[in-house]
Chains A and B, each alone.
Chain A
């Protein structure tokens, strides 16, 4: 009965957008488990880093040489694009716009993974005390990671993009074709509801569109690996390789600015304690 009541109330909370920031018992579980997981996971992570940084560096010299060549090519291309922008008089305007989009971020360590095969989430070592609240997007240098779904004073839970509940509006960077990126619970993502005539090709990069207001625009989601045509109807779908290595997540950045949509869902700005608006953030995007 207790389980059923919890399940129904949590489902209702999820639908009504009440959020999970103020739950007492789960908060206690977070507070106890996060430090323990942090301590226990540390030696394993250290061993993994040692292996990856020292023993698994076979062929790194050749890779380094080819990367240098690639960097030279990209720098050349970058220079040409800058020249083109300056020539069109747009560079100053773009720089000015970009400064307006700067969002405060908070770095956090991943201390625990969701081992259930049915859900995809991670546990962070920072929570409300660091200004992290439900509804805030989480990113890495690679791209978009997911969304904070529950917090306690010193821990937070993040639903990854791969979770089956996750859905995000995305666009193909090259052709601006629009669709929804869904998690399917496994390693790949699915780019759904793409209109049949839209231009989507393997190798295309999909970024967040900003529509829906949950995630900021322009964050990298993944790369198209194959396009399929299920049923031959009006819509197509594509499989994406995520931009982020979700299995190897160690450090992430939480964007401390929650969207208006999320404020409406999880509670308004005024409901959050002072200092939670990101003014105390240490890093900038």
Chain B
């Protein structure tokens, strides 16, 4: 439980730090911490704590962004479920495979927002001018995901008494040493 809260706090802290960096860097060029966090949970965490953490992070994202409440929450839950179930069927270990998973999830996340925008906000389909930002974000997510996930995994490695989350090894170091 404590480990879950720690992980959640680290994710929030990264989100806030990223907010500070947004003063210098255009937001398209910043990774989507929430999505990567959820992808990491799907691949490394147990089902129930992972589900709760995805849900909680989705709720915070809903509060801090312009989305309807529940929008991020639902999308993150679906992404978590896809990553979790997919990881049981296909071996997602390895940096390249993980990057591919993040790429697919970022794309699905975008489709989710387009769907909710179309159905609930009547904002219409995505304007062509918007596609640039989406592709840039996808690229940045893929490039940054292993390092961000590594930060989360380092958090988990500290102390093994809490078994609510399963991994105990640095993701990146483990994968790069393969």
Contact = CB atoms under 8 A, between A and B. Distances in A.
Nearest to A5: B70
A44 interface: yes
Most buried by B among A36, A113, A123: A113
A3 B77 contact: yes
Contacts, number: 141
B22 A165 contact: no
Interface stretch (B85-93, B122-130, B149-157, B165-173): B122-130
Given A43-B20, A115-B18, A121 B70 contact: no
A228 interface: no
Interface stretch (A7-15, A100-108, A131-139): A7-15
Contact of A120 (B21, B66, B121, B129): B66
Contacts of A8: 70
B69 interface: yes
A24 to B, nearest CB: 11
Interface stretch (A25-33, A205-213, A276-284): A25-33
Interface string B69-95: 111011001000000000000000000
Contacts of B58: 3
A2 B70 contact: yes
Given A47-B23, A117-B137, 16 more contacts: A3-B70, A3-B73, A6-B62, A6-B69, A7-B74, A9-B69, A11-B121, A26-B62, A40-B20, A112-B16, A112-B19, A114-B27, A115-B65, A118-B117, A164-B117, A188-B129
Main secondary structure of the interface of A (DSSP, over half): helix
A285 interface: no
28 contacts: A3-B71, A3-B73, A4-B70, A5-B70, A6-B62, A7-B68, A7-B73, A26-B62, A33-B63, A36-B16, A41-B16, A44-B24, A45-B20, A47-B24, A112-B16, A113-B27, A114-B65, A115-B33, A116-B65, A116-B67, A117-B27, A121-B65, A123-B64, A164-B121, A165-B66, A184-B127, A185-B127, A247-B26
Interface string A117-128: 111110100000
